Amino acid sequence: MAETTGARSDPNLAQKLTPYFAEPWFADPFWGPLLGVALLVLGVTLLHLLTQRLILRALDKLFKHTGSWWDNALVDHGVFRRLAWLTPWPLILADVSMISGLGDGWADA
């Protein structure tokens, strides 16, 4: 059987290419923090959209099928919609300290 060579046959290709592409950018004193903050904003945005689109809709459907009044009141007053704005905070608090190159005071909790 012939051995194939190519990108698909090497399972560690991403690990081999990371030092050539990621490290020079993140090691730079200007681009490192900028890319770190951009990736954090992207992750927070994706988490918020996931919360808004999937979890809140699932809660709305679930609470419409229950017979209790209190969960319908919470949905009608937008309590869960407002709580969904808090879901990115743990990601922000955990990841801002990992961004190298930010000035002192940015990552202090």
Q: How far apart are CA 107 and CA 85, in angstroms?
A: 21
B/e letters for 71-95, b = 16+ CB within 10 Å, e = fewer, are beeebeeeebeeebeeebeeeeeeb
DSSP state of 68: -
pLDDT (0 to 100) of residue 84:
84
Count of residues in the chain = 109
pLDDT (0 to 100) of residue 87:
83
pLDDT (0 to 100) of residue 1:
47
R_g of the chain, CA atoms, integer Å: 22
Q: pLDDT tens string for the chain (109 positions)?
A: 445 555 455 667 666 656 666 666 666 667 777 788 888 889 889 988 888 888 888 888 888 888 888 888 888 888 888 888 888 888 887 777 767 666 555 555 5
pLDDT (0 to 100) of residue 104:
57
